[in-house]
Amino acid sequence: MYIRNYYRRFAAVSLVFILFFLLCVARLIFIQFFRSNYLTGIANKQHNLYVELEPRRGTIYDANFHPQAFNIAADSVYASPGEIADKDKELIIRKLAPVLQLNYAYLKDRLYRKKSFIWLARKITPQQAGAIKAIDLRGIGLIKESKRSYPNGYLASHVIGFAGLDNTGLEGLELHYDKFLKGEPGWALFLRDARQKKLGLWDKMALPRDGYDLVLTIDGVIQYIAERELDRAFKTNHAKGASIVVIDPHTGAILALANRPTFDLNEYKSASKDDMRGRAITDLFEPGSVFKIVTASAALEEKKVSEEQKFFCENGSYAFAGHVLHDHRPHGWLTFTEVIEQSSNIGTCKVAQLLGADQLYRYIKLFGFGTKSGIDLPGEISGSIKEPRFWSKTSITAVPMGQEVGATALQLASAISAIANGGQLMKPYVVREVRDRYTESIKIFSPILVSKVMSLDTAARVRKILIGAVEEGTGKLARIEGISVAGKTGTAQKLEPNGAYSHNKFVASFIGFAPAEDPKIAIAIVIDEPHPYYFGGVVSAPVFKNVASDVLKYLKTKEPLMLSEKD
């Protein structure tokens, strides 16, 4: 009986063990074939740390290869809330808040999250990083990142733009060329021990591709000269805004472009939208008398007038289609040359009537007005000009002198360049080359002809008239001793909200080029709402004189260097 019971118990225990063994085998088979990927993933998370490797954002250089934007190392603060005891978190918050200049509620929210990693502050100052290292708090660490730096602060801020916290372009060239500058991130899998400590060994890695560099047409010296003089005029004339464009008239390369008000690229977060606005390409205004270069060029090209042909300027008051047109001062008989030199509205409108609306409109479009120039900067507007079929009876007297037309400072610079270079409208551009860190060219930008505006002969005749406008006419304050200057002044009334022209708000402008016989530079200056003086010949012409004089001196010093480089 005893032996029989023993065998029964033995059989029962054996059966249990066999069933348990089969259950274990079944469980292992289930884990191996159905749960292996899940468990492998958990193991990898515990023992492998995925780290994104940040690429170097490309450097932006001026035409002289002086860096205008580049990346520098910066520390970022992170926390591992899971490693910090709750009793220690309050102490950490009190110590970190004054160093990072963050409020209590923000830090508390971050530290009490159930995460193994969380950012507390990105790209802090070296002083803040030093203070955190000195405190030496458990669960708080620093990681090296890169931060965009702009060594010249305000200089060319509206051209260069800025990149955000994650090194993505947000404005200007930083935005427009972000796909070239940013590069592609890499990654690495670092091994960790059971306590989650990084061992400094990597399992797999893909290296990042660094961003490409930009070489600009902007010359830092010319940019400084232009900004210095624009800033002086902006402040002296108590203006609302101001823009300047300096351009190579033969190629369309922008040598300098600036606006006021402006902002420091390193402190862009504190700048207002008004400060950031790139007025030279985003602001629309009626150009006024500078627009008379279009009427003059069209009339000469179409052989409607000659330089010595006389026009009666009605002694300053001209009734047309129920509207009375005035000159800024009365004139009697003036030759066509004198009409432009003295900036007679009445004389210009009589010339336009000989030309006709359709022909005038065609030349307005040839000069690039009403169309985006295609400059490689974000935010450009096209301006505005109505087709002749939408003109009123008085439009033929308004459009020729720059009313009922919307233009930008850049369009004016391109238009005067077309006269300076012999009649060709060139596409403006600010980037000369995209290249890699080894200086190998990735993309080169060459001058592009947009349209043939007029013949070489007509351009030469208009140039002579514009020289007279500076020597004998309204642009006398733009004269440079020993250098011939061609240019045109403009004083335009701004529109009030009710559609009427204002009697106390004006846009003062000057466009010109020098030396007149062999132009090296063309410049457009626009001053918005200057006071108490508001005439373009008084407010903007002196800016041209100062900028052109210093830039031409500077370019002379560069010529020997350029010749030696060619040798």
72 and 14, same domain (yes or no): no
3 versus 164: which is more confidently predicted? 164
290 and 183, same domain (yes or no): no
Do 371 and 385 contact (CB within 8 A), yes or no? no
Q: What is the pLDDT of residues 249-277, one digit of tens each?
A: 999 999 999 999 999 999 999 999 999 99
Q: What is the domain range of residue 184? A: 51-216
- For residues 259 and 248, give the distance between their C-alpha atoms in angstroms, rounded to a whole number: 19
Confirm whether 45 is domain-assigned: no
Tell me if residue 289 is catalytic. yes
Query: Locate tokens 């060139």: which residue?
Result: 426
Nearest to 280 by CA among 226, 214, 219: 226
- For residues 38 and 34, give the distance between their C-alpha atoms in angstroms, rounded to a whole number: 9
- For residues 218 and 159, give the distance between their C-alpha atoms in angstroms, rounded to a whole number: 9
Inform me whether the pLDDT recorded for 194 exceeds 60: no
149 and 248, same domain (yes or no): no
30 and 105, same domain (yes or no): no
Q: How confident is the model at residue 4 (pLDDT cuts 50, 70, 90)?
A: low
255 and 162, same domain (yes or no): no
Q: What is the pLDDT of residues 22-60, one digit of tens each?
A: 887 777 776 666 666 665 555 555 555 555 677 889 999
519 and 382, same domain (yes or no): yes
pLDDT at res. 323: 87
- For residues 519 and 310, give the distance between their C-alpha atoms in angstroms, rounded to a whole number: 30
Confirm whether 269 is domain-assigned: no
pLDDT at res. 139: 79
Q: How does strand 486-495 pair with strand 198-206?
A: unpaired
Which of 112-121, 160-169, 369-378 is least confident?
112-121
Q: Is 471 exposed, middle or buried (0-12, 13-18, 19+ CB in 10 A)?
A: middle
102 and 131, same domain (yes or no): yes
Picking from 216, 240, 273, the residue at the C-terminal end of a domain is 216
345 and 378, same domain (yes or no): yes
R_g (Cα) of the chain, nearest Å: 35
Is residue 1 within a helix (H) or strand (E), and if so which, with residue range? none
Work out the mean pLDDT of the chain and round it to a whole number: 89
Confirm whether 42 is domain-assigned: no
Confirm whether 447 is domain-assigned: yes
Nearest to 288 by CA among 474, 500, 509: 509
507 and 545, same domain (yes or no): yes
Cβ count near 398 (within 10 Å) = 19
**Average pLDDT in the 60-81 region?**
91
Contacts of 509 (CB under 8 A, 6+ apart): 287, 288, 290, 409, 412, 489, 490, 491, 492, 524, 525, 526, 527, 536, 540
* Residue type, position 511, single letter: I
Of the candidates 289, 297, 343, 344, the residue annotated as catalytic is 289
Q: How confident is the model at residue 199 (pLDDT cuts 50, 70, 90)?
A: very low
457 and 329, same domain (yes or no): yes
6 and 115, same domain (yes or no): no
Compute the residue count for the chain: 567
Inform me whether the pLDDT recorded for 132 exceeds 90: no
C-alpha angle with apex 308: 307 to 313, nearest 5 degrees? 100
E-strand stretches of 304-460: 310-312, 317-320, 323-326, 333-335, 384-385, 405-406, 424-426, 431-435, 441-444, 449-452
**Average pLDDT in the 385-393 region?**
95
Nearest to 55 by CA among 206, 201, 191: 206
* Residue type, position 500, single letter: A
* Residue type, position 219, single letter: D
Contacts of 349 (CB under 8 A, 6+ apart): 318, 320, 325, 396, 397, 400, 401
pTM: 0.85
**Average pLDDT in the 337-352 region?**
95
What is the Cα 8 distance to its own chain's centre? Answer: 91
Q: Find the CATH number of the domain harbouring 332.
A: 3.40.710.10
**Average pLDDT in the 68-77 region?**
89
Total domains in the chain come to 3
Contacts of 161 (CB under 8 A, 6+ apart): 169, 170, 171, 172, 173, 174, 175, 176, 265, 378
525 versus 1: which is more confidently predicted? 525
Confirm whether 267 is domain-assigned: no
Cβ count near 217 (within 10 Å) = 24
Do 58 and 212 contact (CB within 8 A), yes or no? yes
Give the ranges where 48-138 is alpha helix by DSSP (H): 86-100, 104-111, 126-135
- For residues 357 and 467, give the distance between their C-alpha atoms in angstroms, rounded to a whole number: 27
Q: Which residues of 301-318 are buried (b: 16+ CB within 10 A; e: fewer)?
A: bbebbebeeebebbebeb
Inform me whether the pLDDT recorded for 227 exceeds 60: yes
Inform me whether the pLDDT recorded for 396 exceeds 70: yes
14 and 96, same domain (yes or no): no
Q: What is the pLDDT of residues 472-524, one digit of tens each?
A: 999 999 999 999 999 999 999 998 888 889 989 999 999 999 999 999 999 99
